[in-house]
C-alpha cells in the first residue's frame, strides 16, 4: 500500500514534467497526453521490452492510464499555478526515480541478469521516460547534458549490490537504495553539482 | 480479399506520405525507402513489440516490403505529379487509419487486454508510423500539434466498445468503427476542426 | 577467437564514433557513455526486439558494457589525439559493419525468416546503432542522407543468398558477404560515390 502510494506520486510527478515540456512546445491535447504518458511509463516500457516482459506492464494495468489522464487534465487546468508546487513536484520526482531504480533492479534479478545489467535496468526504468519525452519533443535529452540524475540511480544500484552482501534481508538493501538515490540527487541539486561536459579543444579530430 | 485490397491501399498511401516528408528533407534513396517503410509499418511494429507478438508482422510477410519498395520507386519517378492525386491519397490514408484502428483493436482483444488498452493499440497501429517518420526526420510529430487524427481513432475505438454491447455480431461493430474513424476525420478536415494547443500564459511556471 | 577479436574491434570503433558525435554536442559523461553504448549495441538491440530474441544480447553479456566503458574513458582522455587514428577507426568500422551484416543474416536464418528479411536484419544490425545515435543527438540520421553504408550491407546480403546456392559450405558465403560489404564501402569512399538525394523541383506537390 505504501509502495503503491509512492508509485502513484511518482507517476503523477513524471506526468506533470511531461505536461510542462509539451506545453513549452505548444502541443495539442493529444500531444500533451502522449508526452505525459511516455514520460511516466517510457522507462518501464523500455525495460520490459529489453527483457521480453510482454505485454508491457502498463498494458496490463489500466490504472496508469487513468491516473495519467487525470493528471494531465488537472495540470492543464492549473497550468499557470504549477510553479507554486514546483518544490513538491521535485520531491515526488526524486522519490519516484529512487523507487523506479529499485523496481528496475528487482525486475533484473527476477530475470536472472548479472548485477551490472540490473543496475542498467534500474537506471533505464528511472530515467528513460524523460529521454523519450525529450526525443518526441525534438530536444537532446536533458539527462545527457546536465544534472546528476542517472548518476544518482547508478550509485544507488551499486550501493544495492554492495549492501546485499551483508547478512541482512534484501528488503533493507532495497530501502537503502531508494535513500541513496534520493540523497545524491538532493545533494547534487543543493550544491549545484553536475557532471562535466566533454568536448574537444578543436573540432577537426 | 476486400480487406486485403484496403490494407494494400492504406500501405501505399502511408508509404507515399513518408516519401513526401523524406523528399522535403532531401534524403537519399535509402533514406526515402526507410522513411516510407516506417511510416507504413511503424505503427503495427510498435503494437507488436508492446504486446510481445514477435517476430513482428512485417517480418513474416515479405509482401509488405515489395509493395512499399514498388511504391517508393513509383512515387520518386512521378514525384512532381503527386499533387494531382493528393485527394485520392488523402482518401486512402483516411481509409487506412480506419482499417488500422480496427486491426489494432482486434489484436488487443486476441491478447486478452482490457478495452482501454485495445483502443490504445488501435490508435498506435493507425498513428505511430507517422510519429516515427517525423522523429526520424527530426520534426515534432505532426499529430501532436494539429489535425484531428489520433482523436478520430480514439473515438472509433470508443464507438466499437459501445456498439459491441448490442446483440449483433462483432463484425458490424468493426465495420462501424472504420466508418466512425473515416467520418470524423473527413468532417474535421472539411470544417477545419482541430484540438486546441495547450500553453501557459507565462513561461516561468 | 578470430571472430571475437573482430567483434570487439567493431564495438570499439562504433563506440568511438558515438563518443565523437556526443562530444560535438557537448554532452556530459553519462550522455557520452549512453551515445557510445547505443551506437555500438543499438543495431543488435533493434534486431533482437524485432525477432523477439529477449533478453536482448547485450543484457546477457556484460563484456560489452565493460569494453564500451573502457573505450569511452580512453576516447575521452585522448580526445584531441583521435584524429591520428582516424584511418584505423574507419577500417575497424568498415570491418565491423561487414561482420554485423553477417551476424544479422545468421540470426534471421535461425529464426526461419525469408531471405529478404534476413538481409533487412543484417542491415539493421550493422547500421541502426548509428541511426539511434543520430536521433538521440537530434540529427537526421547520416546514413539517410549520404554515404554508401546501408547499401553496402544490402549488397552483401544479396551476395550471400546468391552464393549460398552454390554447392559449398555456408561458411564461404558468410566470409564472402563480409568481404563484399567491406569492398563496396571502401570503393565508395575512395571514389566518393554516394546515392543521389531525392527531392522535388517544386514544393507544392
CA distance B118 to chain A (A): 9
pLDDT tens column, B80-125: 888 777 777 788 888 889 999 999 999 999 999 999 999 999 999 9
Of B111, B146, B198, the CB nearest to A23: B198
CA proximity to B144, closest of A139, A32, C136: A32
Alpha-carbon distance of B7 to B22, in angstroms, equals 22
Residues B194/A28, Cβ–Cβ less than 8 Å = yes
CB–CB contacts below 8 A, B to C = 94
Q: Give the distance, in angstroms, between the CA of residue B113 and the centroid of all CA atoms in the same chain.
A: 21
A2 grid coordinates: 505504501
Of A113, A194, A198, the CB nearest to C23: A198
Residues B75/B89, Cβ–Cβ less than 8 Å = no
Q: For residue B55, say if its preceding peptide bond is cis, omega within 30 degrees of 0.
A: yes
Chain A residue with the nearest C-alpha to that of C44: A50
Across the interface, do B205 and A27 touch by the CB < 8 Å criterion?
no
In a domain, B79, yes or no: yes
Alpha-carbon distance of C56 to A53, in angstroms, equals 12
In a domain, A203, yes or no: no
- With an 8 Å Cβ cutoff, the interface of chain B facing chain C consists of 19-20, 22-32, 34-35, 45, 49, 52, 54-56, 59-60, 62, 65, 76, 79-83, 86, 135-138
Residues B69/B86, Cβ–Cβ less than 8 Å = no
In a domain, A24, yes or no: yes
Alpha-carbon distance of A172 to A55, in angstroms, equals 30
pLDDT tens column, C26-54: 899 999 999 999 999 999 999 999 999 99
Across the interface, do B198 and A82 touch by the CB < 8 Å criterion?
no
Alpha-carbon distance of B98 to B181, in angstroms, equals 5
Chain B residue with the nearest C-alpha to that of C143: B31
Mean pLDDT for the stretch of residues B65-84:
90
In a domain, A27, yes or no: yes
In a domain, C168, yes or no: yes
Mean pLDDT for the stretch of residues B64-73:
95
A75 grid coordinates: 495540470
Alpha-carbon distance of A29 to C101, in angstroms, equals 42
Residues B58/B45, Cβ–Cβ less than 8 Å = yes
Average pLDDT, chain B: 89
With a CB cutoff of 8 Å and minimum separation 6, the contacts of A49 are A56, B49, B50, C49, C54
Alpha-carbon distance of B113 to A203, in angstroms, equals 52
CA distance A74 to chain C (A): 31
In a domain, A197, yes or no: no
What is the per-residue burial (b if ≥16 Cβ within 10 Å, else e) of C64-81?
bbebbeebbeebbeebee
The three-state secondary structure class of C79 is: coil
Mean pLDDT for the stretch of residues A80-99:
83
Question: Which residues sit opposite A197 in a β-bridge?
Answer: C28
At residue A204, does pLDDT exceed 60? no
Lowest mean pLDDT of A99-113, B34-48, B189-203, C144-158, name the range.
Answer: B189-203
At residue A20, does pLDDT exceed 70? yes
* Chains adjacent to A (≥3 CB pairs closer than 8 angstroms): B, C
Domain count, chain A: 1
DSSP symbol at C93: H
Mean pLDDT for the stretch of residues B19-28:
90
Mean pLDDT for the stretch of residues A21-25:
90
Rg value, chain B, Cα: 17
Across the interface, do A195 and C62 touch by the CB < 8 Å criterion?
no
Average pLDDT, chain C: 89
Of B55, B56, B138, the CB nearest to C140: B138
At residue C131, does pLDDT exceed 90? yes
CA proximity to C99, closest of C16, C22, C43: C43
Across the interface, do A140 and C25 touch by the CB < 8 Å criterion?
yes
Alpha-carbon distance of C102 to A143, in angstroms, equals 35
At residue A201, does pLDDT exceed 80? no
With a CB cutoff of 8 Å and minimum separation 6, the contacts of B17 are B39, B89, B93, B130, B133
Alpha-carbon distance of A128 to A141, in angstroms, equals 9
B74 neighbourhood in chain C, CB within 8 Å: none
pLDDT tens column, C132-186: 999 999 999 988 887 788 999 999 999 999 999 888 888 888 889 999 999 999 9
Note down the domain range covering C89: 2-190
B15 grid coordinates: 508509404
pLDDT tens column, C60-118: 889 999 999 999 999 999 988 887 777 777 888 888 899 999 999 999 999 999 999 99
Alpha-carbon distance of C22 to C134, in angstroms, equals 9
Alpha-carbon distance of A144 to A141, in angstroms, equals 6
In a domain, C196, yes or no: no
A69, burial (CB in 10 Å: exposed 0-12, middle 13-18, buried 19+): middle
* Chains adjacent to B (≥3 CB pairs closer than 8 angstroms): A, C
Residues B103/B44, Cβ–Cβ less than 8 Å = yes
The secondary structure element, H or E, covering residue B84 is none
C2, burial (CB in 10 Å: exposed 0-12, middle 13-18, buried 19+): exposed
Across the interface, do A144 and C79 touch by the CB < 8 Å criterion?
no
A46, burial (CB in 10 Å: exposed 0-12, middle 13-18, buried 19+): buried
pLDDT tens column, A156-183: 999 999 999 888 888 888 889 999 999 9
- pLDDT of res. C13: 87
pLDDT tens column, B137-188: 999 998 888 778 899 999 999 999 999 988 888 888 888 999 999 999 999 8
Residues C100/C10, Cβ–Cβ less than 8 Å = yes
CA proximity to C161, closest of C124, C94, C96, C106: C106
Across the interface, do A205 and C20 touch by the CB < 8 Å criterion?
yes
DSSP symbol at A196: P
Query: Which residue in C16, C22, C30 has the most chain A C-beta atoms within 10 A of its own C-beta, making it the best mutation to test that interface?
Result: C30
pLDDT tens column, B2-20: 667 778 888 998 999 899 8
CA distance A2 to chain C (A): 31
- pLDDT of res. C205: 42
Phi, then psi, of A198 in degrees rounded to 5: -110, 125
C203 neighbourhood in chain B, CB within 8 Å: 24
Q: Tell me the Ramachandran region of residue B141: left when phi exceeds 0, alpha when psi lies from -120 to 50, beta otherwise.
A: beta
CA distance B80 to chain C (A): 6
Across the interface, do A198 and C32 touch by the CB < 8 Å criterion?
yes
With a CB cutoff of 8 Å and minimum separation 6, the contacts of A183 are none
* Chains adjacent to C (≥3 CB pairs closer than 8 angstroms): A, B
Alpha-carbon distance of A52 to A42, in angstroms, equals 15
Strands (E), chain C: none
Of A23, A34, A59, the CB nearest to B117: A59
CA proximity to B9, closest of B127, B79, B89: B89
In a domain, C203, yes or no: no
As a whole-number percent, the residues of chain A with pLDDT over 70 amount to: 96
With a CB cutoff of 8 Å and minimum separation 6, the contacts of B103 are B44, B122, B125
- pLDDT of res. A202: 55
Alpha-carbon distance of C190 to C199, in angstroms, equals 26
DSSP symbol at B42: H
Alpha-carbon distance of C177 to C160, in angstroms, equals 5
- pLDDT of res. C2: 65
Amino acid at each position: 500500500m505504501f509502495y503503491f502510494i509512492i508509485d502513484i506520486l511518482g507517476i503523477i510527478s513524471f506526468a506533470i514534467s511531461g505536461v510542462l515540456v509539451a506545453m513549452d512546445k505548444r502541443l495539442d491535447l493529444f500531444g500533451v497526453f502522449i508526452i505525459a504518458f511516455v514520460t511516466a511509463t517510457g522507462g518501464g516500457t523500455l525495460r520490459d521490452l529489453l527483457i521480453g516482459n510482454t505485454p508491457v506492464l502498463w498494458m496490463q494495468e489500466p490504472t496508469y492510464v487513468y491516473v495519467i489522464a487525470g493528471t494531465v487534465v488537472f495540470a492543464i487546468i492549473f497550468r499557470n499555478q504549477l510553479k507554486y508546487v514546483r518544490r513538491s513536484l521535485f520531491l515526488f520526482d526524486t522519490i519516484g526515480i529512487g523507487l523506479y531504480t529499485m523496481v528496475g533492479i528487482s525486475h533484473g534479478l527476477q530475470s536472472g541478469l548479472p548485477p551490472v545489467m540490473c543496475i542498467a535496468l534500474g537506471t533505464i526504468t528511472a530515467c528513460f521516460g524523460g529521454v523519450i519525452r525529450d526525443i518526441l519533443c525534438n530536444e537532446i535529452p536533458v539527462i545527457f547534458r546536465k544534472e546528476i540524475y542517472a548518476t544518482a540511480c547508478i550509485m544507488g544500484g551499486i550501493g544495492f549490490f554492495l549492501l546485499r552482501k551483508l547478512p541482512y534481508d534484501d528488503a533493507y538493501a532495497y530501502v537503502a537504495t531508494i535513500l541513496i538515490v534520493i540523497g545524491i540527487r538532493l545533494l547534487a541539486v543543493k550544491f549545484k553539482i553536475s557532471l562535466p561536459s566533454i568536448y574537444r579543444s578543436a573540432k577537426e579530430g
